[in-house]
Structure 1
Amino acid sequence: MMTITTPIPLSMQVRTAVDQYLAQLDGHHTTDLHALVLTEIEKPLFEATYQYSGYNQTKTAQILGISRSTLRKKLDQYGIS
């Protein structure tokens, strides 16, 4: 019998990661958390999506909802080829 699992929403996964990060601070202060989170998720987002699309830039740009020129800039920025 095949078991169907419900995927964990991305928002819940991000929430869990942020909660874990904050817990690890152990009372120490942090700043610019918004910028940190965006920086930390953007590169793996582009890597995973690019791989998922079979390294096709047109498909990747469509999946992400951005232009191919923006995608190329981001791939270059993060050294993804």
Structure 2
Amino acid sequence: MRTAKQPFETDTAEAPSQAALRYILDAWEEALHDGIEPEMLANAALYAALADLVDVYGEHAVASMTSGLSRRIHHGEFTLQRTAQ
């Protein structure tokens, strides 16, 4: 198990953003296995992500960045499973 003091190691073919997503998805699966509801995970993940982004970029920048989410959601950008029409 990796601790905070151990250096991050990844396959050289794997981009850091892909590695980061892999860590999040692994933690997500572990939480689901432990009985945490997906909606609770999603809310916690959004809160943590937005809080971290505000810390790094500031409230105004994050508000600007997220202002277009409604349009992107309505256009199906975040829909993983599409139903037949």
More helix by share: 1
Higher relative contact order (CA 8 A, sep 6+): 1
